[in-house]
Amino acid sequence: MCPSVTNSAKLFRPNSMEKLRQQKLWQAIACLAGAGVLWIHLGEFGGSEFSGGRLTGRLLTMAELGSALFLVALLLTIFLPRVAAAFACTATVLCLPFYLYILMPGPYRWIFKGEYSVPLQRPFVWDNWAVAGVLSLAIAGILSLRNFLVYGRRRDWKNK
């Protein structure tokens, strides 16, 4: 094979450092999207009686903690990508019940019995922001879990 063809093929193949930079960038974008969609949605519920409920207050607190963890993960992505991926996975797990309660209040009320101040109108509700939130959490969770496993594997490979 001609040397010029071999060299040109290497130009178009991304090296491992460039792949790592791309993974960090995608993880940072996913963390920003997860926190952004959550902040837009939390503003609707923060000042209402939703925050004072036995169940809903805890869901709101978990979501607020998850949004803070997304921001910490965003900052840590540059220097400590594996730690940032762990924080983002934790934030995903903390924020998911909030969105599921918005989308499926009926199953939550069947599981967690009690007195609710607002009567149940429908067991399942379509909310565009909650669907966008679940999608952003799914993307952030998948990317973070993937990055957590990839960066862990790289470190183990370097130590051998």
The count of residues in the chain is 160
Closest C-alpha among 137, 143, 154 to residue 23: 143
Find how far residue 6's CA is from the centre of its chain. Answer: 41
The H or E element that residue 64 is part of is helix 56-76
d(CA 133, CA 148): 22
Gyration radius of the chain's alpha carbons: 21
What does the pLDDT look like over 9-56, one tens digit per residue?
555 555 666 777 788 888 898 999 988 888 887 777 766 666 667 777
User: Which pTM does this prediction carry?
Assistant: 0.77
Cα–Cα nearest to 72, from 57, 84, 56 = 84
